[in-house]
Structure 1
Amino acid sequence: REKGLPLVNIAQPFKSSGMMLTCLKETGITQPADFKGKTLGVWFFGNEFPFLSWMATLGIPTTGGADGVEVLKQGFNVDPLLQKQAACISTMTYNEYWQVIDAGITPDQLVTFKYEDQGVATLEDGLYVLEDKLADPAFEDRMVRFVRASMKGWKWAEANPDDAAMIVLDNDETGAQTEAHQKRMMGEIAKLTAGSNGALDLDDYERTVATLLAGGSDPVISKAPEGAWSHAISDKALQ
């Protein structure tokens, strides 16, 4: 919104963030203070913002050196950890972490830091629309029905994770997905959607704003946004 795109959050199926740093225990990292002097794999395209805010909060520079961290621009894979190019990499609780495990590294060889636990998690996988669209009654009606159906689907998937995974597999035209991975992912995703009925939790919103403002010398936003969320759709959808 600050850069001119009037986005509005109208629903928030995910209650919790799945993002975390996964580290090799052999590097000696047991707490965030141990990041100093290490290379950390970080996703970009917007995923770097909570990381940079976290480092700013810890007072750890991201420009390298003995008292800072070296940021490795990580692709959406786990290779930097497997190849020991980085002490830690970005992972999601439901996906990349398990790719590390599937590669032969055991959980007791790893140390994980969930952004949620560190107090710097940002909202993930919300539903956003352009503000002017909300003035259109027909669009509003479509969104109400979409959010209602979407949340019905998410709650069904929480209660029936194996069946939900099979729906994904039945529609996987690539043949790349496996039953074990999809079932495991749905089980982890269910932990993130649990606790949300689809309406944005304002405490989570305020934490996200605080995190994005806390970027040190280069915050993502310079002031708290106005009009960035609305309960108008979710209130009607969840009646």
Structure 2
Amino acid sequence: MKKLIAGLLTGAMALGIAPAFAQDALTLQLKWVTQAQFAGYLVAESKGFYDEENLDVTILPGGPNIAPEQVIAGGGADIIVTWMAAGMAARESGVPLVNIAQPFKRSGLMMICPEETGITEVADFPGHTLGVWFFGNEYPFFAWMNKEGIPTDGSEGGVTVLQQSFDIQPMIQGQADCISVMTYNEYGQALDAGYGPDNLTIFNYTDMGNDLLEDGLYVMEDTLDDPARVDAYTRFVKASMKGWAYALENPEEAAEIVVEMDDTGAAEYEHQLYMVGEVSKLVDATDPALSMETYDRTVQALLDQEIITATPEGAYTTVVTDALK
């Protein structure tokens, strides 16, 4: 009997100890499909950096019909990658998102116009059709037009807005005079199609001072009340930044990892390698902290455009990035 009791106690102790070694499960929802825009997270998963931080991370790809803000609101993710404008708009509409880290420091958003349109400056926009992505990606464009005083309703002296597909076809097919591109994605498609600085007018949001914060990491506000959850977030950001550092130092391997982790088979190595190179100009792999200067500019632009109606409170926290210093 003593041996039986001892055995039961040993088993109970083992069961009690086991959870302490169990990995913390986190689900990350990406803003878009599996591509090098998210190389840091994909590399961190592939190289075991999350495992090193005792994390079991599931990475969910996004797509044209997936809104990360809706996914996390519905309990389908713990962390999402999204643009701050979309996150702020969601917060005001009742989804209490909080920015916990900001690996992307610069905007990759541009608008390009073929030379045959005759557009060489912003003053030439009125009377033309401009391609813009929606689903939360439209806010920087409308903030820019608001700043320039250009109507976007197609009226006289204004522009007509085309809800653009996520490629350069509207420009190729002549549906739009200018289109939106990301430096690390669609602009590469334009280069492949024979376009470039010699036959394009390029409006770079960052260079114009109209950049709003893009790919940041967001969680639900109430989860930050749980110290264990905050600790898991901190380890996640630490491992993710290690993934970003590795990706930017090893672009060829990072591109291969992206291709391997794309279950659709759509990712092509050469394009992913191009993307890693361009993303490296936007990401600071050594500093995941939020830039308050860019944050304030983003908030003011959203207020000016009435995307949000009041200065947000509690929309970001430094508790995670402070713990990594």
Q: Pick from 139, 145, 148: which aligns with 2:238?
A: 148
Q: Distance in 2 between matches of 1:116 and 1:220?
A: 20
Q: Secondary structure of the residue that 1:40 maps to in structure 2?
A: strand
Partner of 1:227: 314
Q: Secondary structure of the residue that 2:167 maps to in structure 1?
A: coil
Q: Which runs of 5+ in 1 are unaligned?
A: none
Partner of 2:297: 207
Cα distance change of structure 1 residues 119 and 106 upon mapping to structure 2, 3 Å threshold: closer
Once the two structures are superposed, residues 136-175 of structure 1 have per-residue CA deviations (whole angstroms, 9 ceiling, x without a partner) of: 1111111010000001111221222222111112223333
Cα distance change of structure 1 residues 39 and 204 upon mapping to structure 2, 3 Å threshold: same
Pairwise CA RMSD: 1.4
Moved over 4 A (4+): none
Q: Pick from 98, 104, 107: which aligns with 1:14?
A: 104
Residues 241 and 285 in structure 2, CA contact (< 8 A), matched pair in contact too: no
Residues 15 and 196 in structure 1, CA contact (< 8 A), matched pair in contact too: no
Partner of 1:56: 146
Deviation, structure 1 residue 65? 3.7
Give the structure with higher Rg (CA): 2
May I ask how many residue pairs the two structures share in their alignment?
A: 235
Deviation, structure 1 residue 196? 5.8
The residue identity in structure 1 corresponding to 2:278 is E
The residue identity in structure 2 corresponding to 1:108 is D
Deviation, structure 1 residue 220? 0.3
Residues 101 and 107 in structure 1, CA contact (< 8 A), matched pair in contact too: no
Partner of 1:157: 247
After superposition, residues 5-84 of structure 1 pair within 5 angstroms as 5-84=95-174
Q: Distance in 1 between matches of 2:142 and 2:196?
A: 28
Cα distance change of structure 1 residues 7 and 106 upon mapping to structure 2, 3 Å threshold: closer
Q: Secondary structure of the residue that 1:116 maps to in structure 2?
A: coil
Q: Distance in 2 between matches of 1:53 and 1:175?
A: 36
Residues 8 and 128 in structure 1, CA contact (< 8 A), matched pair in contact too: yes
**Percent identity between the two aligned chains:** 56
Residues 7 and 130 in structure 1, CA contact (< 8 A), matched pair in contact too: yes
Q: In the alignment, does 2:117 pair up with 1:117? A: no
Give me the TM-score of the superposition, normalised by structure 1: 0.94
Q: Distance in 2 between matches of 1:156 and 1:10?
A: 21
Deviation, structure 1 residue 103? 2.3
Q: Distance in 2 between matches of 1:195 and 1:166?
A: 19
Q: Secondary structure of the residue that 1:101 maps to in structure 2?
A: helix
Deviation, structure 1 residue 99? 1.1
Partner of 2:33: none
Q: Distance in 2 between matches of 1:71 and 1:148?
A: 40
Q: Distance in 1 between matches of 2:111 and 2:196?
A: 16
Once the two structures are superposed, residues 67-117 of structure 1 have per-residue CA deviations (whole angstroms, 9 ceiling, x without a partner) of: 110100112121110011111111100001111222233441111111112
Q: Secondary structure of the residue that 2:223 maps to in structure 1?
A: helix
Deviation, structure 1 residue 233? 0.7
